[in-house]
Structure 1
Amino acid sequence: MLSDNKEQQKSPKRRFLLILGVAAFIGFCILGLGLIFWDDIPFDIPKTQRTIYGSVILVYAVLRFSRYFRKDPDEN
């Protein structure tokens, strides 16, 4: 019974990296959405460039977050 539960639990390293990945994902999403929708941004960047930069940051956040769910070849 305990061996079944141990196989399903994540290692402390994996758990920490998941928490860190979720925090980074949320941070990048806030940054990307802030660039896209914040009208009074204190930078002198045209709206189209802000939209492009924000979109690139959002795509990066999704790609980075999706890497956390791939299984490492070292892990069983």
Structure 2
Amino acid sequence: FVIYDEGSGSGNNSPSHVVCILVSPFAKPRYSSDTQYSHYSLLATVETIFSIGNMGRNDSTAGPMSDLFTINLS
């Protein structure tokens, strides 16, 4: 995963966008997802890939970024 978070720190409660690029032989080629994810979704994805279970409260309700992969993560 390559993540870019501009971290504006404006504190104005407006939603900001974060770029996430998956570089993997298991990534769907030339795929762009319209699904909204959070940082907890990234954590949930890593937890799912490595079968380590949830590490906290918010990642347990976040879904993994399964649509980015050519393999089934479940």
Q: TM-score range by the shorter chain?
A: under 0.3
- Structure (1 or 2) with the greater helix fraction: 1
Higher relative contact order (CA 8 A, sep 6+): 1
Give the TM-score, by structure 1 length: 0.22
Give the TM-score, by structure 2 length: 0.22
Q: Bigger radius of gyration, 1 or 2? A: 1
